[in-house]
A and B are shown apart, each in its own frame.
Chain A
Amino acid sequence: MSNIFPKWVDRMREVVAVATIGGFLTVVFVVNTYFSDDNLVVGYTPIQPIPFSHEFHVGQLKLDCRYCHTNVERSQHSTIPAMDVCMGCHQKIKTEIVNPEKKDEKIVNPKLAPLLNKYKSEITVPVKIKSDNNPDLQAGSKTIANPDHLGGGQVKPVEWVRVHKLPDYVYFNHAVHVKQGVSCVECHGRVDQMAEVGQQKSFSMKFCLDCHRDESKLYGTRPADKVFDLGWSFPDEAAKKQHIEQHSSKLNPPKDKDCSSCHR
């Protein structure tokens, strides 16, 4: 009886075994490396309806974080500001700019338009119109009641796009972190240098536990008056060491490493 399979087929077993194991390891490696939060989430910078620049407001104007994110020391949410807060300044400031096309005319500041236009009871929308002497459609405009203006001082809100998101089954509390001396910068990065806000850290469970299990006992904390000073860092190792010594006992630090601290 002749051989149906040639001799080299005998080696297929080893080849297949090596290929399977190798393939599996490759898949694990690829998934682990490239599908990790570090890769997929970090750098997420969505386009916002208003190109609000933290770099300008915080970095240059030196506004305190809490001027807008008012509840960060009180609530689990830092809360994005009510539109009243924006309007507190922008009712007057930078509402108009010179029309780049017609230098003698002023127009609504296009960057702020999505905000300011909401407060107008009527808006002008472009339409194509026909006139008697010109049967072709021509660009024109007409004034209509503003659908975003609800009357009684109420307007429809600006729809910001969420940048930092934790899963629904994770309960994170801003207030307790800030009050314990964890600066904004630890999770959000140098927001004061961002023209557009993007995600800087992975926000994975490992990311949380890296601090909560920090063996140096710094736990990402700093002196209470430096929490909102994003550019601050310990001047030297001695200061850091002193801080740890002073605070690690008082902070009675994040022993909350158990599941129910975050998962309820």
Chain B
Amino acid sequence: MPQMSHDNERTLWRSAQAMEAGAAVSDASREFPEGASEASGFSRRGFMQIMAASMALAGAASCRRPEEKILPYASAPEGLIPGKSNFYASAIPRSRGSLGVLVKSTDGRPTKIDGHPGSVSKGASDSFAQADLLDLYDPDRLQQVRFHGVAAASDAEGMTAKYRLELRQSFLKFDKELEAFTTEAKKNGGSSLAILSAPVTSPTEERLRTEVKENLPKASFAFWEALNDDNSAEALRLFRGAAAPDARLRVDLSKVDTIVSLDADFMSPSYRDSLELVRGWAERRKLGSSKEDAGKTDLNRLWSVEANFSLTGSNADHRLRVKPSQIGDVLVLVAQKLASGPLKGLTLPAFDSKLKLDDLSAKDVTYAAAIEALAAELASNTLKGRRSVILCGESQPVNVQVLALLINSALGAFANGSLSIVPAAAKADKLLGSSIAELAEGIKSGRITQLVILGGNPAYDAPAELGFADLVAKAKTIHLTHDYNETSEKAAIAVPAAHWLESWGDTRCSDGSVSVIQPLIAPLFDGLTSNELLARLAGLGKVKGHDLLKATHGLQGRDFEAVLSKGQFSGPVAPLALVPDLLGCGKVLASLKAGEPAEFEVVFVPDAKMLDGRYANNAWLQELPEPITKIAWDNAALVSMATARKLGAGHRRSNGTDQTDVLSIKVAGVAAELPVWPVPGIADGVVVLALGYGRTIVGHVGRGEKGSEVANYPVNTGIAAAPVGVNVYPLRRSGSLFSAKADSVAKTGKVLEGREGPASTQEHWAMEDRDLVKTASVSEFQHDPLFAREKENPVTASLFPGRPEWDKPGSHQWAMVIDLNACTGCGTCSIACQAENNISVVGKAEVHNGREMHWIRLDRYFYADERWLKNQPESLSDAELSAKYDVAVEAYHQPIGCQHCQMAPCEQVCPVAATQHSPEGLNDMAYNRCIGTRYCANNCPFKVRRFNFFAPQEEFKAPRFEVKKMVYNPNVTVRSRGVIEKCTYCTQRISEAKIDAKVAGEKLATDSFTTACAEACPTQAITFGDKNDAKSAVSAKRADVRNYTLLPGLNVQPRTSFLARLSNPAASLVKAEAHEHKGHH
């Protein structure tokens, strides 16, 4: 009922600890996280002394103006206008689904990556795409060819003539070595040679592989990717019969009414084709609602069956927490219920699930009831012609995947186009490929003595039992790699790879279209592409990637240029007809067995930031808080609150320091020790471990070290330099790549104190008030469409005069609306903002201090119905109460940047007028005027102002860091130490659009541009525009009945508003609650 959203009945917690302690958000005792307001390391007096001395010196030094040089082009490149950005179509090659992108080039260097509007993502991007830019300019990239046992040339002095010469020489030496290598391979027709890589998505690479095969007929190819989709690919193959041509599944969720996710965390950017899926989901979550339309609201319904509390789970309408071994059981139980309906004729094996069906899966809902309701919904959907899709995560075994495909087929998902089968590589990978296990066998037996590894890091992420690191050392290995990693260290030769922003190439996207990869910049460190290396193995000599690409597609001149401007060689391909191999499927289904739950089970999740570990040296991603735990710079052993209690482990605060217990998790005889982190809602007896951490051979960011003596970035004062997080790959074996049964899980007795423990931002920047996320179920919304609106008229009188220009017709008045119904909480906006606005990174110790600089933070609130919790028997023990939290918990996400208040409290307290209101409604910040009193941050009710404790640009004093300067957006000031900063609504983009319109003599089309966050958002949950323009998208959203602003009682009149969140629980599962409500009032 509408009252749901009122303060006294809705309590939000920022963390598990707060929840247990009963400390709701409103109890925030401190306005700021401790370190965020006080300097540390030196006294105030010492600070004054240093400042006085430096002022005096600065005064003396500034008498003479420094002479600055301007260097013109010798001959200007055609079409390049200095100061004007160009955009180039390219693509990010990924074996998890390539992404077409538009890359912004400013004065010859790429400065921003966004999705290509014509690609499957429709212009959106994810945090990896945004952060790839930082990888390009990573000073820790491999810059020279390194030979095992030979000391590397030092880059400490930067790009000196001597260093350049050494780089050149290393490549010349490599040319010789490679020639000897191929001659050696040629002797036996290539039978001693194997080439290991991630699955191929590039037609040119496929062509070159056949060429290699011609040159070295006996050479073998192997494929490995830690986050592979072997299970689902195998399931699809069995489903269609072994003779069917290679293909892959494509999912279109945009018209689907019921989505069932079986451990398929498709909202995490680490999931295959996540952008396409999440956009499809959001299509049916967004509703333009006037009061009259509310009754017609028809949202999709997302069911999530999972062990972890994933991003997808946090956005699901119904969530079933199940141990990983029993996730398949849920599907079989649903299938059994459907046997009399849509699944008639399918024989399921006798099945005796050990799932305790009478337990509560959620508040007031037992597993039995949930499964019953789900089955009923699927059955009724088929009758009513509504669409349902079951998404099966990679963790599920092949037989469960096949069952999911069969159910999907029976529910008509293939017939109605929600699922389709897209032809994969023209020449199937299988033709040339083998598994990494077979390769390991070959090296062990001595059959394979020469190994070429194209990218990746198998010594770090291959299944533990293979001992792949030793095998890399055993064979003569050439590793083509972006950074010098665990594999390169063991390899005989490590060759720098070109970044995709430096490469020519092509890649196949999920719809079968082939996108072009075109370079934005010449290779910074002479890296090779895998195509170029393959060409040399194929005996084609040193052919440039550009020529290899043209040869594949047979294009020249204008035809080729047309492809470049379009970004695609060929468009989407027609899906294949589906002919299920029912006989084969029947055999597979016969192997279905009820899961045997162990006391403790481990889930290995792909990390939403590190992916498989490849982004370990990317400071933007390291500092992005994980969507659910909000931990930055670490991984932890996530357990439910009940399990944490059972283990006697937890995270607490005593005597002013944080203390985190350490768990020892033993799987197949190998133990890993990680700090424990209780998260309500994880299945009991499950430990969730994120992959991709604990890299040891990695750049300075991943090692947790300062880059150089002068660099204060990342600033890790007070804690010892150590690899970020703990490597859990040693626990991960073939056959249990995504979940495993643990031998034991126990508290070690070790305690991580203070800043040694995981740094989580979840309790930072608490807003001392409630009712920030307004939410209702669809039926409640239909009953009271205006539930998000204020029931009482807020105070509007103010002592401060208004500004007449705010309402002046014709003037631009910028505003933003964030649709909480479409926001998944993924954090892409945070990274996009960081890339656009030159936001600095502070490091783990400073995140502990609360000094993170993100202009957009993603608030994640836990919510559990207090009435329900209180309605329990009095005698509940603490452990039982914890278990109740686990059952009842829900999570909400809310992005918070500067709200651009019209009556901004920050402006009124600035002593130097550094922050002022613009006539267009922007809360302007003049950095050069700011003296750093931080009064504004104190007075900001939303806690969105960030203070620069550090000067990140100081790191450029180290010569080797010079390359990183190139990542900066030249249109945004790089802030210095001692200055406050915050979201500007991308004022540089507003200015640019206005200037372009004025120069062209046209009226500004206010929807022709948008902010970086809105542009990147995978679900387009953010809308920015001119609220005075009646036709703008933002005006329409502001008129929505769900539109509300935060903290209306303060009368600050924010320009950013939110659209309330709706959930869509199944009617049969909320009935009981509705009655209770009635009884309540």
Report B-chain residues with C-beta under 8 Å of the C-beta of A7: none
Report A-chain residues with C-beta under 8 Å of the C-beta of B928: 167, 169, 263
When chains A and B are docked, how far (Å) is the Cα of A159 from the Cα of B65?
A: 18
Of the candidates A44, A81, A173, the one having the most CB atoms from chain B within 10 angstroms of its own CB is: A173
With an 8 A cutoff between CB atoms, is A215 at the interface?
Answer: no
Q: Which residues in chain A, 227-264, are within 8 Å of chain B measured between CB atoms?
A: 255, 258-261, 263-264
Considering the complex, give the chain A residue whose CB is closest to the CB of B1001.
A179
Considering the complex, give the chain B residue whose CB is closest to the CB of A71.
B81
Q: Contact at B74–A83, with CB atoms within 8 Å?
A: yes
When chains A and B are docked, how far (Å) is the Cα of A171 from the Cα of B995?
A: 12
Report B-chain residues with C-beta under 8 Å of the C-beta of A155: 74
Q: Contact at A153–B972, with CB atoms within 8 Å?
A: no
Q: Contact at B918–A263, with CB atoms within 8 Å?
A: no
Given the contacts A74-B999, A75-B83, A159 and B920 also touching, CB distance less than 8 Å:
no
When chains A and B are docked, how far (Å) is the Cα of A27 from the Cα of B416?
A: 83
The contact of A176 among B76, B918, B998, by CB within 8 Å, is B998
Considering the complex, give the chain A residue whose CB is closest to the CB of B1000.
A179
Q: Contact at B973–A264, with CB atoms within 8 Å?
A: yes
Considering the complex, give the chain B residue whose CB is closest to the CB of A41.
B65
Q: Contact at A46–B67, with CB atoms within 8 Å?
A: yes
Q: Contact at A175–B999, with CB atoms within 8 Å?
A: yes
A34-51, CB under 8 A of B: which get 1 and which 0? 000000110010100000
Report B-chain residues with C-beta under 8 Å of the C-beta of A10: none
Report B-chain residues with C-beta under 8 Å of the C-beta of A165: 65, 68
Q: Which residues in chain B, 57-116, are within 8 Å of chain A measured between CB atoms?
A: 65, 67-76, 81-84
Q: Contact at B84–A74, with CB atoms within 8 Å?
A: yes
User: How many residues on A have C-beta within 8 angstroms of the other chain's C-beta atoms?
Assistant: 44
Report B-chain residues with C-beta under 8 Å of the C-beta of A76: 83-84, 995
Q: Contact at A258–B922, with CB atoms within 8 Å?
A: yes
With an 8 A cutoff between CB atoms, is B487 at the interface?
Answer: no
When chains A and B are docked, how far (Å) is the Cα of A157 from the Cα of B76?
A: 11
The contact of B72 among A154, A160, A180, A260, by CB within 8 Å, is A160
Report B-chain residues with C-beta under 8 Å of the C-beta of A154: 74-75
When chains A and B are docked, how far (Å) is the Cα of A25 from the Cα of B641?
A: 68
With an 8 A cutoff between CB atoms, is B743 at the interface?
Answer: no
Of the candidates A44, A81, A264, the one having the most CB atoms from chain B within 10 angstroms of its own CB is: A264
Q: Contact at A259–B73, with CB atoms within 8 Å?
A: no
Considering the complex, give the chain B residue whose CB is closest to the CB of A76.
B83
Report B-chain residues with C-beta under 8 Å of the C-beta of A168: 973-974
When chains A and B are docked, how far (Å) is the Cα of A162 from the Cα of B70?
A: 6
* B601 shortest CB reach to chain A, Å: 51
Q: Contact at B83–A82, with CB atoms within 8 Å?
A: no
With an 8 A cutoff between CB atoms, is A121 at the interface?
Answer: no
Segment touching A, from B36-44, B451-459, B983-991: B983-991
* A72 shortest CB reach to chain B, Å: 11
When chains A and B are docked, how far (Å) is the Cα of A264 from the Cα of B70?
A: 23
A68-106, CB under 8 A of B: which get 1 and which 0? 000101111101111110000000000000000000000
Q: Contact at B920–A171, with CB atoms within 8 Å?
A: no
With an 8 A cutoff between CB atoms, is A108 at the interface?
Answer: no
With an 8 A cutoff between CB atoms, is A161 at the interface?
Answer: yes
With an 8 A cutoff between CB atoms, is A158 at the interface?
Answer: yes
Q: Contact at A73–B999, with CB atoms within 8 Å?
A: yes
Q: Contact at B999–A258, with CB atoms within 8 Å?
A: no
B641-666, CB under 8 A of A: which get 1 and which 0? 00000000000000000000000000
When chains A and B are docked, how far (Å) is the Cα of A155 from the Cα of B82?
A: 19
* B662 shortest CB reach to chain A, Å: 46
Considering the complex, give the chain A residue whose CB is closest to the CB of B73.
A82
Report A-chain residues with C-beta under 8 Å of the C-beta of B1001: 179
Considering the complex, give the chain B residue whose CB is closest to the CB of A80.
B72
With an 8 A cutoff between CB atoms, is A156 at the interface?
Answer: yes
Report B-chain residues with C-beta under 8 Å of the C-beta of A71: 81-84
Q: Contact at B69–A82, with CB atoms within 8 Å?
A: no
Q: Contact at A260–B81, with CB atoms within 8 Å?
A: no
Report B-chain residues with C-beta under 8 Å of the C-beta of A84: 73-76
The contact of A259 among B82, B926, B988, B995, by CB within 8 Å, is B926
Q: Contact at A79–B82, with CB atoms within 8 Å?
A: yes
The contact of A255 among B71, B919, B973, B995, by CB within 8 Å, is B919
When chains A and B are docked, how far (Å) is the Cα of A176 from the Cα of B75?
A: 26
Report B-chain residues with C-beta under 8 Å of the C-beta of A179: 998-999, 1001
Given the contacts A77-B83, A255-B919, A263-B928, A161 and B72 also touching, CB distance less than 8 Å:
no
Considering the complex, give the chain B residue whose CB is closest to the CB of A255.
B919
Report A-chain residues with C-beta under 8 Å of the C-beta of B73: 82-84, 157
The contact of A264 among B71, B920, B991, by CB within 8 Å, is B991
* A99 shortest CB reach to chain B, Å: 29
* B198 shortest CB reach to chain A, Å: 37
When chains A and B are docked, how far (Å) is the Cα of A165 from the Cα of B919?
A: 28
Q: Contact at A260–B922, with CB atoms within 8 Å?
A: yes
* A127 shortest CB reach to chain B, Å: 23
Q: Contact at B999–A161, with CB atoms within 8 Å?
A: no
Report B-chain residues with C-beta under 8 Å of the C-beta of A171: 971, 988, 991
Considering the complex, give the chain B residue whose CB is closest to the CB of A46.
B67
B939-977, CB under 8 A of A: which get 1 and which 0? 000000000000000000000000000000001111000
When chains A and B are docked, how far (Å) is the Cα of A160 from the Cα of B69?
A: 6
Considering the complex, give the chain B residue whose CB is closest to the CB of A263.
B926
Report B-chain residues with C-beta under 8 Å of the C-beta of A77: 82-83
With an 8 A cutoff between CB atoms, is B925 at the interface?
Answer: yes
* A187 shortest CB reach to chain B, Å: 17
Considering the complex, give the chain A residue whose CB is closest to the CB of B990.
A260
Shortest Cβ-Cβ A-B pairs, 6 listed: A258-B918, A82-B76, A259-B924, A75-B83, A162-B68, A82-B73
A residues near B (Cβ < 8 Å) are 40-41, 44, 46, 71, 73-77, 79-84, 118, 153-162, 165, 167-169, 171, 173, 175-176, 179-180, 255, 258-261, 263-264
Q: A83-B73, A157-B74, A259-B916 are in contact. List 18 more A-B contacts (CB 8 A).
A: A74-B84, A75-B81, A76-B995, A82-B76, A84-B76, A153-B74, A159-B71, A161-B67, A161-B68, A162-B68, A162-B69, A171-B991, A179-B999, A259-B924, A259-B926, A263-B925, A264-B971, A264-B984
20 contacts between A and B (CB under 8 A): A41-B65, A46-B67, A75-B84, A155-B74, A157-B72, A158-B71, A161-B68, A162-B68, A165-B68, A168-B974, A169-B927, A169-B928, A169-B973, A179-B998, A258-B920, A259-B924, A260-B990, A263-B924, A263-B928, A264-B973
